[in-house]
Amino acid sequence: MTNLTTEQANPESATIDQMNSLEIVNLINREDAKVAAAVRIALPEIAEAVDVIAEAIAGGGRLLYIGAGTSGRLGILDAVECVPTFSAPPDIVQGLIAGGGPAVTRSIEGAEDQPELARQNLEQRGLTAADVVCGIAASGRTPYVIGGLQYARSLGAKTIAIACNMDSPIGALADISIGVDVGPEVIAGSTRMKAGTAQKMILNMLSSGAMIRLGKVYGNLMVDVKVSNQKLAERACQLIMRLTGADAERARELLAGANNEVKAAVVMTRLGVEYDEARLLLEGASGKLRAVISDVAE
Domains in the chain, please, with CATH?
5-213 (3.40.50.10490), 230-293 (1.10.8.1080)
H or E, element range at 38: helix 21-41
Q: What is the pLDDT of residue 71?
A: 97
Q: What is the pLDDT of residue 1?
A: 66
Q: What is the pLDDT of residue 200?
A: 98
C-alpha distances in Å from residue 179, one per residue of 40, 56, 136, 143, 262: 11, 22, 10, 17, 38
Q: What is the pLDDT of residue 110?
A: 83
Instruction: Kindly report the pTM of this predicted structure.
Output: 0.92
Beta bridge partners of 163: 137, 179
Which residue among 81, 234, 253, 277 is the active-site one? 81
DSSP one-letter string for 66-98 = EESHHHHHHHHHHHHHHHHHH---TTTEEEEET
Question: Do the beta carbons of residue 51 and residue 132 sit within 8 Å?
Answer: no
35 by Cβ neighbours in 10 Å (0-12 / 13-18 / 19+) ranks as: buried
Q: CA 255 to CA 175: how far, in whole Å? A: 42
Q: What is the pLDDT of residue 295?
A: 60
Judging by DSSP bridges, how do beta strands 93-97 and 63-67 pair with one another? parallel
Q: CA 54 to CA 57: how far, in whole Å? A: 5
Q: What is the pLDDT of residue 2?
A: 66
Q: How many CA atoms lie less than 13 Å away from 150 in the CB half-sphere?
A: 15
Q: What is the pLDDT of residue 6?
A: 87
List the chain residues with pLDDT less than 50: 297
Which residue among 31, 112, 185, 261 is the active-site one? 112
| Catalytic-residue membership of 112 | yes
Q: What is the pLDDT of residue 157?
A: 98
At 99, the amino acid letter reads G
HEC secondary structure over 234-280: HHHHHHHHHHHCCCHHHHHHHHHHCCCCHHHHHHHHHHCCCHHHHHH
Question: Do the beta carbons of residue 102 and residue 158 sit within 8 Å?
Answer: no
C-alpha distances in Å from residue 285, one per residue of 31, 61, 114, 290: 45, 19, 44, 9
DSSP one-letter string for 128-191 = -TTSEEEEEESSS--HHHHHHHHHHHHHT-EEEEEESSSS-HHHHHSSEEEE----S-SSTT-T
